[in-house]
């Protein structure tokens, strides 16, 4: 058991686990292999104390080993419903490619990895698809709805990562260090700057929003996409659920990950004070470290439609199609067996292709996140809600609104100025009419 705890070789485990004649041990002393094993234990503790570490009976893992343990823990949390499948898949994909394959991380103990090591790794990661191992890779195996499939690597992917990508990947690696700290393998997380003068990045490709004309065109394409003549069974059902998922993102301005983690218990019926109509609020859990859980109402012009879908149409659909009445703890988006749907990305891509709307006029690719941007842009441009109110409703900050939706803020300011001038013009005309009479 001690040998297994220290992760020594099978030989050590076999020696420590065998039976000994203790009368012989009393006469001749402990066998040499036990003496050697005991010395190894003493040396390990002496090494830990010499490095200023707390005593830990477990061998300190390499960074790659700690990352593998972290993934196992994350998968267990996902099975308990505490972590979305999307989050697990993002972390798994990053670690399996950029941590497990890096030689230094496979050899160096995690508590010995410092900022210099991370800076060297960052340069290796930045050139992975250009001059590193990725330059020789044309296809990779990915997961689609939990099932493996092979896809080709595009030329667009074989570039240096953007600053936002590098920051996101560092958050994944930092999560490994935080896990190791909880396991008492490290005392602190090393400092690291993903983007510096020595580690440049590609320009960020912004995620565009759908204009009013774009969204109208998408709506027109939906009926044919939902009901093609040769699409049957689960594929047809997945498309229907995907479209309702899109409408939920649109009505509440949700992040994609926030949409995936919704359960039926997330639906909070409420009564509109003006019309006394019952509508659906959503309890939204945090999916980012600095974002707090919140309760959100749907945007006004989608309130009736989206409330009907959430409270009536969706439960009835599951009962009719799967023969099961959803419970409070069931995911809002699920397969026939009740398992949560991991991703609608491919289904949504097929809708964009059907509508011939894969990118905006500047060549930026649409994706599911574009729907959130569409809603927030619309709320900024067409309403007079305080930016702080919009930020709280969307689960973000005013600073992020200024940074991400700067164009929409400009459109709002110009609209409000035009409306102010129109009010002044009407007031002046009214005063002139008064003067004449």
| Tally of residues, the chain | 437
Compute how many other C-beta atoms are within 10 angstroms of the C-beta atom of residue 154.
8
The model's pLDDT over 67-125, given as tens digits with 9 standing for 90+, comes to 999 999 999 998 887 887 778 988 999 999 999 999 999 999 998 899 999 999 999 99
| pLDDT on residue 54 | 60
**Are the CB atoms for 323 and 316 separated by under 8 Å?**
no
Distance CA 1, CA 119 (A): 38
Residues 6+ apart with CB under 8 A from 183: 58, 66, 69
**Are the CB atoms for 125 and 105 separated by under 8 Å?**
no
Compute how many other C-beta atoms are within 10 angstroms of the C-beta atom of residue 172.
19
| pLDDT on residue 48 | 66
Residues 6+ apart with CB under 8 A from 262: 248, 282, 284, 331, 332, 333
Compute how many other C-beta atoms are within 10 angstroms of the C-beta atom of residue 81.
12
CB crowding 233-268: b at 16 or more within 10 Å, else e: eeeebbbbbbbbbbbbbbbbbbbbbbbbbbbbebbe
If DSSP codes are grouped into helix, strand and coil, which group holds residue 151?
strand
- Tokens 């989206």 -> residue: 306
| pLDDT on residue 11 | 64
**Are the CB atoms for 159 and 203 separated by under 8 Å?**
no
| pLDDT on residue 339 | 87
| pLDDT on residue 272 | 83
The model's pLDDT over 273-306, given as tens digits with 9 standing for 90+, comes to 777 789 999 999 988 777 889 999 999 999 999 9
Distance CA 278, CA 186 (A): 52
Distance CA 393, CA 390 (A): 5
Q: Break the chain into its structural domains and give their ranges.
A: 2-50, 63-182, 212-404
What's the chain's Rg over C-alpha atoms? Answer: 29
In this prediction, the residues of the chain whose per-residue pLDDT falls under 50 are 1, 3-5
Distance CA 350, CA 358 (A): 9
CATH architecture for residues 212-404 = Orthogonal Bundle (1.10)
* Strand-strand pairing, 139-144 and 294-296: unpaired
| pLDDT on residue 377 | 96
Q: Name the β-bridge partners of 150.
A: 141
The pairs formed by 386-395 with CB atoms below 8 angstroms and a separation of 24 or more are: 392/294, 393/253, 393/294, 393/296, 393/297, 394/253, 395/255, 395/258, 395/284, 395/286, 395/291, 395/292, 395/294, 395/296
Q: Select from 329, 313, 304 the least CA-distant residue to 243.
A: 313
């Amino acid at each position: 058991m001690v040998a297994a705890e220290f992760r020594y070789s099978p030989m050590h485990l076999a020696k420590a686990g065998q039976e000994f004649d203790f009368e012989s041990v009393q006469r001749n002393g402990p066998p040499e292999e036990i003496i050697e094993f005991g010395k190894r234990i003493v040396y390990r503790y002496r090494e830990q104390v010499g490095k200023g570490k707390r005593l830990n009976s477990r061998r300190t893992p390499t960074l790659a080993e700690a990352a593998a343990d972290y993934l196992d823990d994350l998968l267990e949390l996902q099975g308990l419903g505490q972590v979305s499948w999307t989050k697990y898949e993002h972390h798994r994909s990053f670690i399996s490619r950029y941590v497990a394959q890096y030689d230094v991380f496979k050899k160096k103990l995690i508590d010995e990895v410092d900022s210099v090591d991370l800076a060297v790794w960052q340069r290796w990661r930045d050139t992975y698809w250009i001059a590193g191992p990725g330059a020789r890779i044309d296809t990779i195996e990915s997961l689609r709805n939990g099932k493996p499939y092979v896809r080709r690597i595009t030329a667009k992917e074989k570039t240096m990562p953007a600053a936002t990508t590098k920051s996101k990947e560092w958050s994944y690696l930092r999560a490994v260090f935080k896990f190791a700290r909880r396991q008492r393998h490290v005392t602190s997380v090393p400092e690291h700057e993903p983007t510096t003068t020595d580690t440049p990045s590609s320009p960020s490709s912004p995620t565009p929003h759908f204009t009013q004309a774009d969204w109208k065109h998408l709506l027109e394409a939906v009926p044919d996409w939902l009901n093609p003549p040769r699409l049957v069974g689960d594929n047809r059902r997945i498309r229907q659920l995907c479209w309702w998922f899109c409408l939920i993102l649109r009505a509440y301005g949700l992040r994609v990950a926030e949409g995936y983690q919704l359960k039926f218990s997330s639906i909070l019926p409420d009564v509109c004070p003006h019309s006394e109509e019952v509508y659906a609020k959503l309890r939204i859990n945090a999916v980012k470290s600095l974002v707090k859980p919140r309760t959100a109402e749907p945007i006004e012009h989608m309130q009736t439609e989206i409330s009907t879908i959430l409270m009536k149409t969706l439960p009835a659909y599951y009962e009719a199609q799967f023969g099961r009445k959803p419970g409070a703890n069931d995911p809002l988006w699920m397969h026939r067996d009740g398992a949560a749907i991991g991703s609608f990305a491919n289904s949504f891509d097929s809708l964009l292709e059907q509508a011939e709307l894969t990118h905006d006029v500047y060549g930026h690719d649409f994706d599911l996140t574009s729907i959130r941007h569409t809603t927030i842009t619309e709320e900024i441009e067409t309403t007079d809600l305080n930016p702080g109110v919009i930020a709280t409703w969307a689960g973000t900050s005013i600073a992020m609104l200024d940074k991400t939706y700067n164009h929409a803020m400009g459109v709002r300011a110009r609209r409000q100025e035009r409306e102010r001038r129109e009010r002044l013009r009407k007031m002046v005309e009214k005063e002139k009419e008064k003067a004449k009479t």
